[in-house]
Structure 1
Amino acid sequence: MSDLHYDVCGSGPVLLVIPGGAGHPMGLEGVTERLSERFTVVTYDPLGLSRGPLDEPVGDQRVEVWRDNAHRVLEAVLPEGESACVFGSSSGGIVALDLLARHPERVRRVVAHEPPSVGVLPDAARQRAMIGEVHEICRAEGVGPAMERLSAGLKGRTWEGRAPQRAREIAADTPIGIFLAHVLLPFATHAPDVEALKPLSARLAVGAGQDSRGQLPRRSAELLAELIGADFVEFPGGHLGCLEHPASFADLLVRTFTRPVPAESSPGS
């Protein structure tokens, strides 16, 4: 896809927001409005889902493509030689980590909230199998049953092998349908470049929701922070805390982004 889809609001230092799911920014208005009081908020919409139905079918997505296009967005909005803060949630957090690893000269600080990088977990093989099962259920039975299977897997619940009838009515071309069919598997099984991120750890904070304790995305977030040597920050709410508690979530983001960064780890140093 050659077109870049992003929106800009507010004024101040640039803050790039990379949403989770299929990259759709719907529902983020509360947090971006609050953040725009302190930042020029650039909301990256990888597939352009906020602009209406897509004109063509969506293929399987790749972290590298989303990362490269996010970098192109930064090149479009940043003055030469300057860098941006980046916030990514869930699948967007995976992209944010890769953006810092590959383009540290354009990234001042990153907050990655609950990136579900299952490969870092001690039970990685079991979690990859669960994600693969979600993918197969989505193809064979539809979005609703796949969503029910994923929910059980994220929370560590036993899967009964069936979904309520209401769940079977979710359309495949919705953002959640696109996420389950084309984003979840390649993103959750993408291996973050821990070795490239270690020297940049002072610029990184990995976040998780206080209501997510024991759940898969929080487990991966805690372990990533430990492996990289980055700060771990607990945010209000759960995996969707930025939608559930937009004001307090945004305020904590501001405090995290405005912490001093050691000079030796700043871009250009």
Structure 2
Amino acid sequence: MTTTTRTLTVPGGRLHYEVRGSGPLLLLAASPMGADAFAPMADALADRYTVVTHDPRGIGRSPLDDPTQDSTPDLRADDVAALLDALQADTADMFGTSGGAVTGLALAVRQPGRLRTLVAHEPPLLRLLPDATAQLAAVEDTVAALHRDGLGAAWQRFMQQAGYHDEHPEENTEEGAGGYEPSQQDLADGTRFFAHELWHTTSYRLDVAALAAGPVRVVVGLGAESHKLLTYRTSIALAEGLGGTPVDYPGEHTGFVGHPGAFAEALHAALR
């Protein structure tokens, strides 16, 4: 499968993006994960869609003029709209996962005419929860841990709050990482995520009423194995706010990485 790599200048930076296949336009977006995480699933969809993936602003191959600029859902939504403009597309379908789901939801509210169907997979919208104050305070503690104790401490707090700590406690330590050695880019992306993105994504105030009244068809996606995760609760809350129920997808929060083929088929079914 041929992949075309391109660069788009946006306000404050440049976006690395990739285009595969042919057919209706489909955007796959995460945050902070970049285009590489979607490659196997994008390949599986490229026989039916023109699939577009990208590195979010400030991550990977998408540098910012000011590296200390915060990454907000609204800014990232504007970046997606700019990608559509660059592709000369009025509208597209979109799959957004985690922070990328919040990006898509922001776009659906800000520029609803740009999306047809949005599959919002496990958006971490903490303000939808009854214990939002405590959850957001925990996010603040995670950001503080980065500045006080370093990236490893921030990841450990993040994983515990997300719900992975009790299920896989050995994965929340350096000894449990299976000898994985992060690259300098991994370290830079992780630091940026905690310092400039995590709070803005998890504290985003989604106008659920405007979303429900708008023209975008929103499908809330939920990992079939995500029951112990915090994003299980936020996904249920969003679906209830929209008057529906979540649609199951393979795996848990990053199921599209572990099960790209099955995930692609489930996504195709939702879009169809």
TM range (shorter): 0.7 to 0.9
**How many residue pairs align between the two structures?**
251
Letter in 1 for 2:211: L
The alpha carbon displacement at 1:24 in A equals 1.8
C-alpha separation in 2, matches of 1:157 and 1:164? 10
Where does residue 224 of structure 1 map in the other structure?
A: 238
Where does residue 6 of structure 1 map in the other structure?
A: 17
1:234 aligns with 2:245: no
Query: Which secondary structure does the structure 2 equivalent of 1:15 belong to?
Result: strand
The alpha carbon displacement at 1:141 in A equals 0.7
Structure 1 portions without partners, runs of 5+:
259-269
Query: Which secondary structure does the structure 2 equivalent of 1:46 belong to?
Result: coil
C-alpha separation in 2, matches of 1:242 and 1:65? 25
C-alpha separation in 1, matches of 2:101 and 2:174? 32
- Over the aligned positions, Cα root-mean-square deviation in angstroms equals 2.5
Where does residue 151 of structure 1 map in the other structure?
A: 159
1:90 aligns with 2:102: no
C-alpha separation in 2, matches of 1:202 and 1:46? 22
Where does residue 50 of structure 2 map in the other structure?
A: 40
Q: Percent identity?
A: 34
Where does residue 263 of structure 1 map in the other structure?
A: none
Q: Summarize the Cα distance change of 1:65–1:52 in structure 2 as closer, same or farther, 3 Å threshold.
A: closer
Matches within 5 A, 1:193-232: 193-200=207-214, 203-232=217-246
2:112/2:216 contact within 8 Å kept: no
The alpha carbon displacement at 1:174 in A equals 3.1
Where does residue 67 of structure 1 map in the other structure?
A: 77
The alpha carbon displacement at 1:128 in A equals 0.4
C-alpha separation in 2, matches of 1:53 and 1:2? 6
**Larger CA deviation: 226-235 vs 67-76:** 226-235
Q: Summarize the Cα distance change of 1:50–1:156 in structure 2 as closer, same or farther, 3 Å threshold.
A: closer
Letter in 1 for 2:88: L
1:15/1:41 contact within 8 Å kept: yes
C-alpha separation in 1, matches of 2:239 and 2:106? 14
The alpha carbon displacement at 1:25 in A equals 2.1
* 1:54-83, Cα deviation, whole Å (9 max, x unpaired): 78634321111111111111122134xx42
Letter in 2 for 1:12: G
Where does residue 186 of structure 1 map in the other structure?
A: 200
Q: Summarize the Cα distance change of 1:34–1:155 in structure 2 as closer, same or farther, 3 Å threshold.
A: same
Query: Which secondary structure does the structure 2 equivalent of 1:5 belong to?
Result: strand
Structure 2 portions without partners, runs of 5+:
1-11
Letter in 2 for 1:119: R
1:253 aligns with 2:261: no
The alpha carbon displacement at 1:241 in A equals 0.6
TM-score between both structures, scaled by the size of structure 2? 0.84
C-alpha separation in 2, matches of 1:230 and 1:182? 32
The alpha carbon displacement at 1:231 in A equals 4.7
Query: Which secondary structure does the structure 1 equivalent of 2:130 belong to?
Result: coil
1:201/1:229 contact within 8 Å kept: no
2:236/2:245 contact within 8 Å kept: no
Q: Summarize the Cα distance change of 1:249–1:156 in structure 2 as closer, same or farther, 3 Å threshold.
A: closer
